[in-house]
Amino acid sequence: MEEFRRSYNRLCEESGAEPQEAVLQQLHQLPKGGLDLTTQSLTVETCRALGKLLHKETLLKELVLSDCMLSEEGSILLFQGLCANTSVQHLDLKGNNLRATGAEALGKLLRQNKSIQSLTLEWNNLGTWEDAFATFCGGLAANSALRQLDLRNNQISHKGAEELALALKGNTTLQQLDLRWNNIGLLGGRALVNCLPSNRTLWKLDLAGNNIPGDILRAVEQAMDHNQDRLTAFRENQARTKILSKEVQHLQEEKSKQFLDLMETIDKQREEMARDSRASAVRVGQLQEALNERQSIINALKAKLQMTEAALALSEQKVRDLGELLVAGDQERQSLSQRHEKERKLERQEAADRESKLLRDLSAANEKNLLLRSQVDELERKARSQQEQLFLTKQELTNTSAELKIRAIQAEERLDVEKRRAKQNMEDLEKLHSKEVDHMTRHLEESERAMQERVQRLEALRLSLEEELSRMKAAVLSERGQAEEELIKAKNQARLEEQHRLAHLEEKIRLLAQARDEAQGTCVQQKQMVAESQARVSQLNLQMEGQQRRLEELQQELSNKDQEKVAEVARVRVDLQEQMGRMQADLVAQEALREKVAALERQLKVIGSEHREALLDRESENASLREKLRLKEAEISRIRDEEAQRASFLQNAILAYVQGSPLRALSPPK
């Protein structure tokens, strides 16, 4: 708050005035959120500086200016600063003797300020200036933030009370009003009592020390009790609403948790299926790689076999070539045998050598051929073993595909179980909703019966009043027949008074009949509202049936699609994703239906609360009418006693006149 003190010094210096030491001390000792200047005589310059500071101050919550003897100009400057303030909630102006201009400034303050909740105006004589107090009451009627108002010892007359009554009719936030030790009187008390049925927020009204009759004070206490009961009922309804909202939120959280658990299980199943599919794909890949390796080995062996066959064909070609050379050599030998005997011997020796060499080559070629044949046999055995392994891998592939089909069937069965569970939850929700609707209809029927019984009691009361009126008429006629001729003027006067009373009573009876008609009208309106709520409930039931049919159609479509599904893993995944999307849409639809049901329940609660408020208002009106009837009965009995006394006095006078001597004895001496 040091900044507040420096701002006060700066404003005083700008205006050319000395800051007050007492105010500076209070600002130095200023507690957090409050400013107490009690019994400090504030000058106009100080009020101007404080008004400018309060115009922008946002930390000050409480301002106490009691017994400061504010001048008119100073109070206006302070109130102008408070008009735009948004932080001060408690304002104490006790004992400042505010005059007409101060009261008008207070009215403007109440009309513009939106933060002050408590206002103390004790010992200010505001009721002395009626026009200014009317302006103050106008500001109170337009205010929407004030909760507590203290107007003790303000010389408020019955006219000021009437202005306050008009302000209370328009005000919707004031809860406590203290009017003790004023001059309100009977008329002001009646005006306040008449305004209380229109005000439903005021639950404390102190009227001690105002010369108000006890019956009016009791009526005020009854109205305050009624408003306090309404306030407690409203708070209980708010608490119940909060509890219900928490329960609904808890149920939503549980449903979301269940849905998340379901999604987690489905995700886990998907992950397991994907893991199995990946494992099977890896196994198939490994088998395919092994098969490719075996195929490459077989291809290599085939290439080697082809190469050996080519080498064998080449050796056979060499053998044929050698045979041809032998034939040519024989021919040359035969032709040259005769010419070259020596060369023949040499050639024979060379031929023998060559033949032996060729024989050795032929035997080696035969051995190579046998070796290649054994290798071909071994390769054929290996090829047969590779075919057997390929057959085993095919069997393993069929087994894995069968396992995948079995897992897909298990997933479908789990999905069916989840569908049945969701359907069971829907049936439980429908049963609960039907039970709540039956309960609300029974409650409305009971309230309707109670209204009818109250209307019957009012009718019986009206009949009893009419009978009493007829008895009173008969009594008046009998008394009129027994009266003497000498009292014609008194009789005429009594007859006129009696006719006036009868007209007044007939007017009261007419008002009672009008109140009864209004009560019947409210009953009819309540019946119409009940019929409308029932129609809304039936519409909601039709909507729920449509949603159920839609759900059955969706289930039928799901079953048809389940029948049409193939055992392929990819298609199973797609179908599962589609079903999950539909289930989420159904859950969203269920949440929408729950919200609609909750909205209808809130509407029914609002209708019930309005109905209860109307019944309470009617009860208060009936109580006030019974009080008025009791007062009129007391007045009639008093008038009857006065008539009896008057008749006895006349009878005594007539007897004294007839007897003569007592009359002379009673006459004064001449």
pLDDT score for 600: 82
CA atoms of 226 and 185, how far apart (whole Å):
23
Quickly state the pLDDT bin for 152 (edges 50, 70, 90): very high
Q: Which residue has the higher pLDDT, 49 or 594?
A: 49
CB proximity list for 291: less than 8 A, separation 6 or greater? 390, 393
Confidence (pLDDT) at 431: 82
For the chain, what percent of residues have pLDDT higher than 70? 92
d(CA 297, CA 606): 88
pLDDT at 642 over 70: yes
Q: Which residue's entry shows tokens 């053998």? A: 319
Taking the C-alpha atoms of residue 414 and residue 422, their distance in angstroms, rounded to an integer, is 12
- Parse the chain into domains and list their residue ranges: 33-237
The two tokens of residue 595 are 């919200």
Residue 663 pLDDT class (50, 70, 90 cuts): very low
Question: Residues 286-314: what's their mean pLDDT?
Answer: 83
Tell me the pairing of strands 118-120 and 90-92: parallel
The torsion defined by the Cα of 609, 614, 620 and 624, in degrees rounded to 10, comes to 170
For residue 669, name the pLDDT band (cuts at 50, 70, 90).
very low
pLDDT band at 490, cuts 50/70/90?
Answer: low
In Å, how far are 5, 53, 65, 116, 444 from 59, measured between CA atoms? Answer: 13, 11, 17, 14, 51
Q: Give mean pLDDT, residues 107-131.
A: 92
- Residue 167 — very low, low, confident or very high, per pLDDT cuts 50/70/90? very high
Beta-strand pair 34-36/176-178: unpaired
Amino acid at 497: E
pLDDT at 451: 73
Residue of higher predicted confidence among 506 and 55:
55
Whole-number Å distance between alpha carbons of 453 and 448: 9
Long-range CB pairs of 235-242, under 8 A, 24+ apart, other chains included: 237/605, 237/609
Q: With a cut of 90, say whether residue 529 has pLDDT above it.
A: no
pLDDT band per the 50, 70, 90 thresholds, residue 314 = confident
Q: State the Cα–Cα distance between residues 11 and 152, nearest whole angstrom.
A: 35
* 668 has pLDDT over 60: no
Number of neighbouring beta carbons within 10 Å of residue 91: 24
Cβ–Cβ under 8 Å, residues 8 and 23: yes
Which amino acid is located at 439 in the chain?
H
For residue 144, the model assigns a pLDDT of: 92
| Averaged pLDDT, 191-196 | 93
Binned at pLDDT 50, 70 and 90, residue 1 comes out as low
pLDDT of amino acid 650: 85
The per-residue pLDDT for range 210-232, each reduced to its tens digit, is: 999 999 999 999 999 999 998 89
What's the mean pLDDT when you consider all of the chain?
82
648 pLDDT higher than 50: yes
Q: In terms of Cα–Cα distance, which of 152, 78, 144 is closest to 120?
A: 152
pLDDT in tens, 380-398: 787 677 778 777 777 877 7
Beta bridge partners of 394: none
The H or E element containing residue 149 is strand 148-150
Contacts of 182 (CB under 8 A, 6+ apart): 127, 151, 152, 153, 154, 155, 156, 157, 160, 161, 209, 210
Q: For residue 339, is pLDDT > 90?
A: no
| Per-residue pLDDT band at 121 (split at 50, 70, 90) | very high
How far are the Cα atoms of 83, 374, 401, 480 from residue 5, in angstroms, in the given order? Answer: 21, 118, 88, 86
pLDDT at position 509 over 70: yes
C-alpha separations of 135 from 33, 126, 388, 612, 623 in Å: 31, 11, 112, 36, 34
Query: Residues 20-48: what's their mean pLDDT?
Result: 83
Residue 535 in this model has a pLDDT that exceeds 80: no
**pLDDT for residue 89 is more than 90:** yes
pLDDT score for 131: 92
Q: What angle do CA 194, 197, 199 make, to 5 degrees?
A: 110
How much is the pLDDT for 468?
A: 75
> In this structure, is the dihedral angle defined by the CA atoms of residues 565, 569, 570 and 575, taken in order, positive or negative?
positive
What confidence tier does 665 reach under pLDDT thresholds 50, 70, 90?
very low
Spatial separation of the C-alpha atoms in residues 392 and 525, rounded to whole Å: 86
pLDDT band at 662 (very low <50, low <70, confident <90, very high): very low
Query: Cβ contacts of residue 472 below 8 Å, gap of 6+?
Result: 636
Ranking 16-25, 168-177, 653-662 by mean pLDDT, the lowest is 653-662
Asked if pLDDT for residue 444 goes beyond 80, the answer is: no
pLDDT tens, 233-292?
A: 988 988 888 898 888 888 888 888 888 888 888 888 888 888 887 887 888 888 888 888
* pLDDT, mean of residues 466-473: 76
What length does the chain have? 670
33-237: CATH number: 3.80.10.10
Give me the mean pLDDT over the 31-52 stretch: 86
DSSP 367-414: HHHHHHHHHHHHHHHHHHHHHHHHHHHHHHHHHHHHHHHHHHHHHHHH
